[in-house]
Amino acid sequence: MIVVMKPGAPESEVDRLDAEFRSLGLSPEKIVGKHKTVIGLVGETVDMDALQLQDLSPWIEQVLRVEKPYKRVSREFRHGEPSEVIVSTPNGPVTFSQHAPVVVVAGPCSVENEEMIVETARRVKAAGAQFLRGGAFKPRTSPYAFQGHGESALALLAAAKEATGLGIITEVMDAADIEVISEVADVLQVGARNMHNFSLLKKMGAQDKPVLLKRGMSATIEEWLMAAEYIVAAGNSNVIFCERGIRTFDNQYARNTLDLSAIPVLRSLTHLPIMIDPSHGTGKSEYVPSMAAAALAAGADSLMIEVHPNPSKALSDGPQSLTPDRFDRLMTELSVIGKAVGRWDTRVPALI
């Protein structure tokens, strides 16, 4: 249920109601919006009467029931107010939100060695990326494929962070690694293959780092929203959705079907920010720029692009990785659209 306060409701009244709701066995969450304060109520509300709750204060404008199975991540829970996921990085805080400039995350699929990760970090930073991505623990379809360098790759990510000040995003496959990964990562990624791993999702909710939640390759939008609800319900409201393509009947040309309609659909259903990953979405580097441009035009809050200094030699996902030079050009192309839709950070270096 959500309790919408009238504009100008005194803070003392909101606090009094907070205590009152707690005494009814509910967990209230206060959301201070631009115009109004909203109190989200979680708990056994099925038998509660909205009108009776409304009588608790003359400052209550409305009491609404959230009918969706996902509650805290739903757009209604914040009465339409988009949330902000603010990530602190050595270069300063970066905001993922509908009302913020688009955030670009770039880097190789896997961290291979120090030279390549530091070099890639320098290049993507110069082109305007705010985050470096790179897998240390890799979820691979084949047990015989390169599995990532694991813990030793975390030290290489730390070196790249030190050299550039970029924020770091890397995947957590096993809850046992959360602590060690958190020493270097600023955002923890849950990969497509783990979107349904509910015990991992609960653990992600019980730690403090923001979580990037990729869409399972055959997950419906509602299953994806419910996966985010697991994280938020467990205590961590900093979740970013990432569409990375869904299983397709026709994978002859593209690896997946990148569901760009997920942008307006999620926008209408959740207050949380939305990232698009055209690299895994298409599987081919030549298709990545068009899909990145389309995603930005369609309102994505963030983009994740795989970049490798020598894609033909990459240990994973070379065919979908851009060279640093192609990434430079892509950022210039994106800046045109980004400015047109009012989502481009003018501090991003302008490349010729």
Residues within the interface to Mn ion (CB under 5 A): 109, 317
Type of residue numbered 285:
S
Within 8 A by CB and 6+ apart from 179, the residues are none
Q: Which does 139 bind (CB under 5 to 8 A by kind): ligand PEP, Mn ion, none?
A: ligand PEP
CA 111, CA 133: separation in Å to the nearest integer?
Answer: 9
Work out which of 69, 139, 235, 264 binds ligand PEP, going by CB under 6 A: 139
* DSSP secondary structure letters along 196-211: T-HHHHHHHHTSSS-E
CA 47, CA 14: separation in Å to the nearest integer?
Answer: 23
By the rule CB under 6 A, 280 interacts with ligand PEP: yes
Q: Which stretch binds ligand PEP (CB under 6 A): 33-41, 120-128, 188-196, 287-295?
A: 188-196
Helix (H, G, I), strand (E, B) or coil at 318: helix
Of residues 128 and 135, the one with the C-beta less far from ligand PEP: 135
CA 66 from chain centre, in angstroms, equals 23
By the rule CB under 6 A, 214 interacts with ligand PEP: yes
By the rule CB under 6 A, 148 interacts with ligand PEP: no
CA 82, CA 98: separation in Å to the nearest integer?
Answer: 6
How many CA atoms are closer than 13 Å to the CA of 282, on its beta-carbon side? 22
* Smallest separation, CB 244 to ligand PEP (Å): 4
Of residues 193 and 202, the one with the C-beta less far from ligand PEP: 193
* Smallest separation, CB 316 to Mn ion (Å): 6
Q: Is the dihedral of CA 121, 123, 125, 130 positive or negative?
A: negative
Residue nearest Mn ion by beta-carbon distance: 109
Q: Which does 192 bind (CB under 5 to 8 A by kind): Mn ion, ligand PEP, none?
A: ligand PEP
Residue nearest ligand PEP by beta-carbon distance: 191
Binding region for ligand PEP (CB under 6 A): 109, 135, 139, 191-193, 214, 244, 280
